[in-house]
Structure 1
């Protein structure tokens, strides 16, 4: 009977200790059976420390009630006096209703939790076999199994063993149970036992020493005849023994089941014989097995029966497992299998599926197994059936980043702990997270989450699942994996002689030098060397898929030497998308991009960022350049900083161009070369405009502070104004200024000319970067005229002295830097000149034609082939541009679409206006794009500008690869160029010359 007034204090204490039904708990504590325990605060504290104090108290009452009268005192005394026992017993009772049921049925089994010696903490198979030794039938085996399981659960919930040790102990208990069940089967049929040798091979989680509390135990049976026995009769006997073993473990008795034994991973699955000979197994695996079967065999482990036969099976199938990655489409098959698993989850369960769903345990296991199978061919340290051990080996070998491995390990342990606790409650096979709040509360508390268990559990689960999903996508779908899997085994680890022969076969001109590079990159036992050994076999193939493999490998060594102590570099190449392949393409495609990269090796990071190859817009670039200039101490340092930005962005543009031109496994060759040309032209134009803006700011700051005495603008001309710059193009410009109010014109002119002179000096300081030359020769009076003029001066000159070629040049005029409003007023000034209201008179047309003809004869370099000169030759850039510009000057006033500085846009506008036919427009556009790409290719390949194809064979081949022509097709490339430009010249003759 509860004493009046005591209820409220006990009630509140029970609430504080985590009881959700204090009233029921009070009634239970008042039962006579708990009289010896009732007043002890230690017991209440221990109950409050469990996952579910209400469940623990109910289980304790049932256990005490089930004790014989003479033994009850021993239980209560031990419970009060021995803290380790108290924590273990109540911890189990507060976590597992099923084990509480077992203790109620077998009340003396609590004594299995009393001993707490060091030797008891981590029992092995032999210890569990002793615990099962007294079992003489399936029922007593189940009881003994549950008693052993009770001890494992006690160690688990008290934190004596971690989740990996728990899983290993469960696998050891399963091994002991399979042995005990086989012994019972043999005892029941001694004549069958005498006829055959039978080995039991554990698969899945049991084979991997990472079993759940409740799980199918996957096995494969191998049988051989005993001496003198017919094979057929021996296999029949072995099949009867195997079937009996499965029934002993799987059938339901008054003590329930142990677990189902599943043999469906055997050859041919359910349709195949339950027991096969070793030779039959091998014949199947060598001829018929699918990819997933080799993945399953990765965890195979002999656990029961004939030990020699089991060992022979493992020895025979292991080499097949580690050759599986050489199968055609191996990586994609494994990836498809994982996707099928997710697709088959019922829609209503996806968000609760702890094992199979996205971000679940299978994501970790599949990623680890795929990496093992690909890299384990040449690295025996990866040959582990345990997920966490294999993950640690992958990290140690450099195949997975340490931080990624640590996060994955942490997440996997948390998810497995959730799975264990969910199953432990009722010992049912489930991987679904419960929905009821009381179940979630118990689950959260069992994992140490006590402040707000339900909310904390949800947050932790989502966090770990997100980590798993992210890293699964990163590792499981890593492009490098497929490339490594496609290598022959000998290519992964080559002897020096074999490597030299392999390099020569791949097209390396100097195999000895290449071997030295490989040795320097991959020798030693460091993590860096290990990662390089993984990368290099694949990179060698990618370098070989270029015109100059030797240059690619040399560039890679230089970049690796420069970034050798940078932790993110090799991690980037190993982990991030197509970074390694992108780098290989860039390093082996010519001189420009590698030279830029070696001056700023950290730009490698651009290649691993999906957004990294997209060009930055002018506003973004100008902002960055001006900020860098603002931090510099003087004008020289400011321009150095601006050049640093330009160098990085030139590399970004060149890399994107090369990768788009070559294509990669994930991103095939860009279909429209015109897109590449436009992107390069716009990117280089924006970059040079930002650099000039930076030089202008640097000069003004150094001499005048924040404001120049005259407003000043830089007008882009030629390809600069047309947004069509190539990698080696000069920047044609005009400089315009306008004195500020109250400033003398002569003072303004001196300031403007000083700015121009200093800008040109700074931009022409010696550097290893591609030069940015400012060319102002298109200004009025050419080289004889002043570098900078006022807006009024330009107006006076153009009104009185302007020639037709100057009006034509102004078609490309566009403000690029400096005072925007002044630049716009300059454009308004010149619009009537470049788009005359009455079009062009015949005299002007004749003058333009005469100038063009004169340029063709006088400016083409001596000895140059006019059919192959991209700028001035037949059907080249000049032909197309002068034709388009003539159309602009004639019709620009009437057709707004023609008022553009861009050649291709003006050509499209002329087509839209009906000024040119579709065939003619396509012919001119194709020739212009091709000629522009040839010039860009020459600069990329040689590292210096050029207007015609290189004569050196390797350089010519590299230009061909850039343009889409494979090895041996450079002649076809030159023929195609001549054909395209010849057709363009015919159009020019008609449209420009009026032929």
Structure 2
């Protein structure tokens, strides 16, 4: 026994070298078998470099004990003098208890690790066949297999091979083993060998050259009668081949004194375990053509002939390959593959899901399924994707532009790390498992085997979770990409088109000018650049989406313009390919009319909004106004300030229009968001908030230019009409009143001059020439109309309304709501006008008659000459004016008694009137439907034509686009007009009774 001081020193040294049980290690180092190397510091350093120094030392002692004296001397001498051997042997012993057991049983097999020549680094099938050549029975085959496995593991743990090379070597070893097993089976039954041609097809990871240390080896057997045999010999050939195949499976799968090699699994064959083990080539083809399920074609991606009659094996692969690449054309192909992946996750026991490295969320299968799905969808037209290995296919997908290079690099790194974890977990005891160990010792050994030495367990958990999170995120992004399903639904000829075929398809899809469309396609997708490659993926699908609109030509032209504008922007095509429904959303927006594309071409970076699930949700007024005021504050001069405010308005106007179009096309997830009334309310609120923020910016710019931060008078902008009612459409003017109140101690005349100057400057700034949709201020609803002053004090408004107010002015004030400027002044203005718009005594009969006369006069005088009164959305029969005047009459009559009626919004007031039993529920529903429909018609006209209008377009394409926006299929414009007339006719009947008194 060592002295206490020395023991303490040894303990410390052993702990420093990574031993967890220094007492046991010290005893093992003192074993007589290691006497020749006991004091050699090189050995201790080498042990400390292994995944588990305690395990490595125990394995070394057992191996030394198993040697005779001469063999032990050779082992220890070589161990000390040959660093490559020392690293290989101790590396294996520290990583694999099972291989340590093998070496203890077969002590001379360590010699397989001696050679370290270049030819030994990456052996292939031929080298492994040579190693297995002497194995004439199952036991010797298992021993030879483990000897080969020992060499693969040594190269792996020493870093001579990476994880992909290790997996490929394991697959090559499996190939050689299948060939050796088949040779043993043939030797045992030479009559069966002569009676058939038998090919062994590797599937799964073996077929893909990416096998695990311990895994079922998936195979399919195909057989034929020998060449020249009679047809009657086919059945005998199948029987003979079945006996050979069964014997091969037993040789590899059964357990004997040397354990087992691995199970040979033939359940991927047609009909699975219920089907015959061996079939002819024609029988296989008949099954795949008629009965095969989607997953069976996915499995065939990795099919590779490995043993037996290789010519027959190649015939099999060549015959089934076209069927594999047609699988994506099957109905519901993409959803079926996605459901299959979800079922795999759902079947994991709850207690294991967080430890499941292969099948769990963020596991290896997430990568494999995503890659295979992309291969099957795009590989129909791109043979470069016909790879059996996951990493090879991923590289090809990135090269072809089907996956972003950064995404592919992250997936590659994560997959390699997870596979390395899987390899080292299985290598420990050579057991088929994909569960990450739970015990501290297992996690420590696993972490150290991956090179994590400072805090192996913590570092392992962090790295594992990080890579799993990357895989999960990218799996969700790629595997559930909407573009995939759309591409899968294209016929093969539609994916890669010749110019002639493209022209014919464009014409068939409804493009009015196929020649021009073809020129756009060639400009976008010709060449060998990555951008062109991604465009070639996108365009076949986009063409179909454009064709689902009233004007496919406009959609394609818009797409070319946007692509040209963003051609050098790296995120643009990546967004369309990868992010949610961005590509479909863009197609809808570009082909729905002129307004949204015009806005987008002036701010093409707004395309990014289409890929964000929240990107088309309107922003609240407060953050919007804050952004506008910040932009104004940074600008140099009033004109630049308003230009900045307009820039925000342009982007937000596009956001609103795009959200409206996409919601109207029925692509919103929530049915509530597809409700026409909800869409109208959303647009009205968004446009109101946007215009209010823009006016706030113009006001700040006008004040700052001359007065800095403080105007000598309080100033507020009151929204009127549709502005105040939150019911703006895309072409609406901003109806406003301006009110001011001199600050305490300020000169009243100076305050009035300042207020008028601000109004004039705001109007001037907002009327500066621009290509954006204009924001026109209309103050004609002010007291005395066009003859009155543009801005008044609060006291002046009070005096006017007290003495001169007319019924129409009280009615107009129903929509009054502060929208910009001094909030307190705006609130006091509302308090001032409330008694006028909601009179306590209600309306007298004379006031009611006056309102009716005004309405009748407006109908007769303001309807445009030649307009069809049954189709005019604003002034026509049952249109906006009819519904609004009816609701407003109810508000003025009953608003004092019914607080819920005190709202500036038409639909809210109508709902309140129904709740108060002031209008029958059926009548309220009729008016609401007509008002919503008329509002949508006005919005549609602006979206389609790019300019405001109250009547349906006369141009057939524009009318078709309005119909599509309103939810009608192509060619149903007549139905749309009939439905509009029917809806508004019913509304007019209610108006006649409620407004005109029947």
Structure 1 residue matching 2:841: 3-state secondary structure: coil
For the Cα contact (< 8 Å) 1:663–1:670, is it kept in 2? no
Alignment match, 1:225 = 225
Alignment match, 1:288 = 291
- How far did 1:914 drift? 1.0
Alignment match, 1:82 = 82
Structure 2 residue matching 1:350: 3-state secondary structure: coil
Q: Which of 161-170 and 843-852 deviates more?
A: 843-852
What TM-score do you get using the length of structure 2 for normalisation?
A: 0.99
Alignment match, 1:407 = 410
Alignment match, 1:489 = 492
Within-5 A mapping of 1:795-944: 795-944=798-947
1:383 corresponds to 2:386: yes
Alignment match, 2:776 = 773
Detail structure 1 runs of 4+ shifted over 3 Å in the superposition: 1-5, 665-671
Alignment match, 1:469 = 472
Cα distance in 2, alignment partners of residues 248 and 900 from structure 1: 85
Cα distance in 1, alignment partners of residues 911 and 11 from structure 2: 86
- How far did 1:384 drift? 0.5
Residue 276 (structure 1) aligned to one of 279, 296, 299: 279
Cα distance in 2, alignment partners of residues 5 and 703 from structure 1: 88
Alignment match, 2:603 = 600
Alignment match, 1:207 = 207
Alignment match, 2:66 = 66
Alignment match, 1:394 = 397
Residue 351 (structure 2) aligned to one of 348, 355, 373: 348
Cα distance in 1, alignment partners of residues 346 and 961 from structure 2: 45
In structure 2, relative to structure 1, the CA distance for the partners of 1:5 and 1:744 (3 Å cut) is closer
For the Cα contact (< 8 Å) 1:660–1:669, is it kept in 2? no
Cα distance in 1, alignment partners of residues 551 and 4 from structure 2: 95
- How far did 1:448 drift? 0.8
Residue 715 (structure 1) aligned to one of 715, 718, 730: 718
1:945 corresponds to 2:948: yes
Alignment match, 1:12 = 12
Alignment match, 1:93 = 93
Structure 2 residue matching 1:738: 3-state secondary structure: strand
Alignment match, 1:576 = 579
Q: Which of 48-57 and 470-479 deviates more?
A: 470-479
1:419 corresponds to 2:405: no
Within-5 A mapping of 1:751-790: 751-790=754-793
For the Cα contact (< 8 Å) 1:663–1:669, is it kept in 2? no
Alignment match, 1:187 = 187
- How far did 1:2 drift? 3.2
Cα distance in 1, alignment partners of residues 802 and 343 from structure 2: 75
Cα distance in 2, alignment partners of residues 251 and 985 from structure 1: 86
Alignment match, 1:147 = 147
Alignment match, 1:174 = 174
Alignment match, 2:749 = 746
1:36 corresponds to 2:36: yes
Structure 2 residue matching 1:432: 3-state secondary structure: coil
Cα distance in 1, alignment partners of residues 909 and 883 from structure 2: 11
Residue 644 (structure 1) aligned to one of 647, 651, 656: 647
Cα distance in 2, alignment partners of residues 670 and 796 from structure 1: 46
Cα distance in 2, alignment partners of residues 919 and 143 from structure 1: 87
Q: Summarize deviations over 1:350-373 as a string: whole Å, max 9, x none.
A: 111111111111111111101100
Aligned length: 995
Q: Summarize deviations over 1:664-721 as a string: whole Å, max 9, x none.
A: 3866795420111111000000000000000000111111000001000000000000
- How far did 1:3 drift? 5.0
Q: Summarize deviations over 1:424-477 as a string: whole Å, max 9, x none.
A: 001011111111111111011101111111111111111111111111111111
Q: Could you tell me which runs of 5 or more consecutive residues in structure 2 were left unpaired when the two chains were aligned.
A: none
For the Cα contact (< 8 Å) 2:666–2:674, is it kept in 1? no
Q: Summarize deviations over 1:71-121 as a string: whole Å, max 9, x none.
A: 211111110011111001000000000000111111111111111111110
Residue 557 (structure 2) aligned to one of 528, 551, 554: 554
Residue 441 (structure 1) aligned to one of 437, 440, 444: 444
For the Cα contact (< 8 Å) 1:938–1:946, is it kept in 2? yes
Alignment match, 2:259 = 256
Alignment match, 2:983 = 980
1:373 corresponds to 2:376: yes
Structure 2 residue matching 1:419: 3-state secondary structure: helix
- How far did 1:787 drift? 0.6
For the Cα contact (< 8 Å) 2:662–2:668, is it kept in 1? no
Cα distance in 1, alignment partners of residues 589 and 280 from structure 2: 54
Q: Which of 980-989 and 508-517 deviates more?
A: 980-989
- How far did 1:6 drift? 2.0
Cα distance in 2, alignment partners of residues 45 and 207 from structure 1: 40
- How far did 1:135 drift? 1.0
1:162 corresponds to 2:140: no
Cα distance in 2, alignment partners of residues 161 and 243 from structure 1: 34
Cα distance in 1, alignment partners of residues 978 and 372 from structure 2: 51
Structure 2 residue matching 1:949: 3-state secondary structure: coil
Residue 431 (structure 1) aligned to one of 406, 430, 434: 434
Cα distance in 1, alignment partners of residues 668 and 792 from structure 2: 54
Q: Summarize deviations over 1:803-848 as a string: whole Å, max 9, x none.
A: 1111111111000000000001111111111111111111111111
Q: Summarize deviations over 1:130-162 as a string: whole Å, max 9, x none.
A: 111111111111111111100000000001100
For the Cα contact (< 8 Å) 2:482–2:581, is it kept in 1? yes
Structure 1 residue matching 2:171: 3-state secondary structure: helix
Structure 2 residue matching 1:519: 3-state secondary structure: helix
Alignment match, 2:45 = 45
Cα distance in 1, alignment partners of residues 194 and 820 from structure 2: 96
Structure 2 residue matching 1:783: 3-state secondary structure: helix
Q: Which of 268-277 and 719-728 deviates more?
A: 268-277
Cα distance in 2, alignment partners of residues 74 and 922 from structure 1: 98
For the Cα contact (< 8 Å) 1:581–1:664, is it kept in 2? no
Within-5 A mapping of 1:505-584: 505-584=508-587
For the Cα contact (< 8 Å) 1:370–1:476, is it kept in 2? yes
CA RMSD of aligned residues (A): 1.0
What TM-score do you get using the length of structure 1 for normalisation?
A: 0.99
Q: Could you tell me which runs of 5 or more consecutive residues in structure 1 were left unpaired when the two chains were aligned.
A: none
